[in-house]
Structure 1
Amino acid sequence: MKTIYILIILGITTVCRAQSLILPILESASNIVQGAYYKDLDNELGKFVGTWKYTIGTTSFTITLQKKAMFYNTYDNYYEDIIIGEYKYISNGVTIVNTLPNLGTNYDSQYKYNISGLIIKDQYSQPVGNRRIQLGFVDPERDYLNMGIFIKYIAAVGNTPAKIEIEFTGSMSIVPSDTAPTSLRVPEQNYVLLKQ
């Protein structure tokens, strides 16, 4: 009988340890709890998901964003909901860069996507729904450039579709040679993209 009680207690302990601690995604910006799951409890990320397009004449910039739930962060040993994406830039009718086909691949690292990550900005100064997100942005032919984008969501009003505003933000990059390009193939300017 004593053996049965010990087995039951061991079984309950194992089950309790196997469950991840679920925390709001905003808490991932502070102290990381190993093994925890930082979940998008308020669906803060859902509004960014979809295909967005900027067009002026024969120039266009298209971004498709997806939400990946419970993505494992191997570096710090925790799970989190993140945004991943890819893009296509066409200038004067000529495709300059197109990474959209990469969305068909299920990578084990968020850094293999050309748009990825999740930093929620304005989390203390803005209410839920008005916050921006910051993601990494990579040009696959110039991956030495350390770039990011801020994305702000603008809700649909009447017949006007939802929009996102994109602002490029860079940081220090180490250029491999004097002849290497120092800017992305997508012009680093502010864009307003419409939901498709």
Structure 2
Amino acid sequence: MKNTLYLLLFTFIILSCKAQSPVISLYDGDEYLNIENAYYKDTDNDFDRFVGTWKFTNGSEEFTIILKKKLQYMFTYINKTYYKDMLYGEYNYIDENGNELINTLTYIDNTFTNISEHKIFGNSIIPYKFLPKCETCLPGERRIRLRLIDVLKDYLGINIVLRTVPNETNITVNDLQLVITGTYADIPDGVSTIPTIPYGAYLMIKQ
């Protein structure tokens, strides 16, 4: 019986290793999606800075996001299996009149079959010189680009680009600068192209 258990355990370990090999950096690795079973990893832990609950406040206007990190998320592309680290999340937006327009925060702990069912998701690590332009970014600084789904206008293509910045009153704490930008989308005729959350930059404080 012990020999059988050892054999099964050994087989499981071999299969697990095979399913996540080779390990390739998400930021500077080559041949993205060219190697089946590859694991595209956040090797420098760039995502870790952004995990948590963040909130922007301006009078009655509030914008809150929760972000979590998913390791080794398995996905299939053109009938081939791959693994990658991901950031995902949900958000709440209250406009300048105090009206809550969107609130998906209760879905943050849902185990969706597809991680893109969350309203924030992605894993692009971009250098400082990529768009949107960042006047205060330092050479070598890395930002994170994620997709945000506008629940009320899901036909819009919206990205958020994140970077951490020093807190003005507490240098041991980082704030989050979030920029909402548009991206290519096939927008139906005659519909509003103005997002529910206005385009622009939001300084968010960790909660």
TM class by shorter chain equals 0.7 to 0.9
1:143 and 2:170 are equivalent in the alignment? no
Q: Name the structure 2 match of 1:189.
A: 200
Distance 2:165 2:53 in 1: 14
- Over aligned residue pairs, what C-alpha RMSD do you find? 3.0
Q: Structure 2-normalised TM-score?
A: 0.77
1:34 equivalent among 31, 36, 51: 36
The Cα shift of 1:177 comes to: 3.9
- State the structure with more CA Rg: 1
8 Å CA contact 1:130–1:153 kept in 2: the answer is: no
Q: Percent identity?
A: 34
Q: How does 1:12-51 map to 2 (within 5 A)?
A: 17-18=18-19, 20-27=21-28, 30-32=31-33, 33-51=35-53
- The structure-2 alpha-carbon separation of the partners of 1:89 and 1:81, relative to structure 1 and needing over 3 Å to count, comes to same
Counting matched residue pairs gives 186
Amino acid at match of 1:46: D
Distance 1:176 1:11 in 2: 49
Deviations 1:104-124 (A, max 9, x none): 211121221111011111079
- The structure-2 alpha-carbon separation of the partners of 1:14 and 1:101, relative to structure 1 and needing over 3 Å to count, comes to closer
Amino acid at match of 1:134: R
The Cα shift of 1:159 comes to: 2.2
Q: Structure 1-normalised TM-score?
A: 0.81
Amino acid at match of 2:51: V
70-79 or 23-32: which moved more?
23-32
1:120 and 2:125 are equivalent in the alignment? yes
8 Å CA contact 2:20–2:38 kept in 1: the answer is: no
The Cα shift of 1:168 comes to: 1.7
